[in-house]
Amino acid sequence: MSILVNEQTRVVVQGITGREGSFHTQQCIAYGTKVVAGVTPGKGGQEVEGVPVFNSVLEAVEKTGANTSLIFVPPAFAADAIMEASSAGIELVVCITEGIPTLDMVKVKHYLRGNNTKLIGPNCPGIISPGKCKVGIMPAPIHRSGPIGVISRSGTLTYEVVDQLSQADLGQSTCIGIGGDPIIGLNFIDLLDMFEKDKDTTAVILIGEIGGTAEEEAAVFIKENISKPVFGFIAGQTAPPGKRMGHAGAIISGGSGKAEDKIKALEGAGISVVKNLGELGSFVKQSLG
């Protein structure tokens, strides 16, 4: 099995006529994803890679039965795009856009509270269930189907970890990049709970980074609720306090967010934390036998 996306997922791409939108639409289609619609206001009636373009998400949903949105809309309009997708009944929104103002995401979080739309991102690579469906920008060839779930705050580190797993003959059930912004949709705890309930996921890898308290909160949840093996890695172990490292949320401030604190919390919850990223794949392989 997998979580959130599978062979039945029907994708609408918001911003499909832009350079990034059209390129990654083609890549998703090539992987086998059912991209059934695109949306760019004012360009309804066109086609991109054989996919019909509509003026609104609601029209796209009504005409094609789309249930998942992939967003490549510029930062100033991305929050409205997320809320439009939700109002049209989209079940899962994957927002790739980076640089969305934090106050805009505050509005999005408030809007999504109490409805059925799940959000991945923003500022993320998306989600892939190898061999089934890709909704995002990750390099498809490095993935292979298997029982390992992957959750990561970092896009590029996700690719490194997945490549190591695949080379170690450890396939993945679903890989999700949750994004590194201060305000995101689904978090570590949300996805850990889904992986725990997925009978075909036998272990989970959690890739965290400095800044915030997401990893510490995940550690508490894992200790109390997760029966499957969890492996971890924390990026930014050498980052100085006060310096942002890559992501808007990756900054040590006010005495919190340090890598050593996160590692201590995870290890205290019984999680095997790998200090050297280059050894993660072989370590997981050895640990799982």
Domain made up of 138-288: CATH architecture: 3-Layer(aba) Sandwich (3.40)
Contacts of 193 (CB under 8 A, 6+ apart): 221, 225
Sign of the torsion formed by the C-alpha atoms of 257, 258, 264 and 266:
positive
Answer whether 0.85 is exceeded by the pTM.
yes
Q: 10-120 and 138-288 share one CATH topology?
A: yes
- Tens-binned pLDDT, residue by residue, of the chain (289 aa): 689 999 999 999 999 999 999 999 999 999 999 999 999 999 999 999 999 999 999 999 999 999 999 999 999 999 999 999 999 999 999 999 999 999 999 999 999 998 999 999 999 999 999 999 999 999 999 999 999 999 999 888 999 999 999 999 999 999 999 998 999 999 999 999 999 999 999 999 999 988 888 999 999 999 999 999 999 999 866 555 555 445 444 444 444 568 888 999 999 999 999 999 999 999 999 999 7
CATH class of this structure's domain 10-120? alpha beta
Q: Give the Å distances, CA to CA, from 253 to 35, 188, 211, 244.
A: 42, 21, 7, 10
Please report, for the chain, the start and end positions of each structural domain, with discontinuous segments joined by +.
Answer: 10-120, 138-288
Question: Whole-angstrom Cα distance, residue 258 to residue 32?
Answer: 41
What positions carry a catalytic annotation?
Answer: 247
Helices (H), 88-213: 102-112, 155-167, 188-197
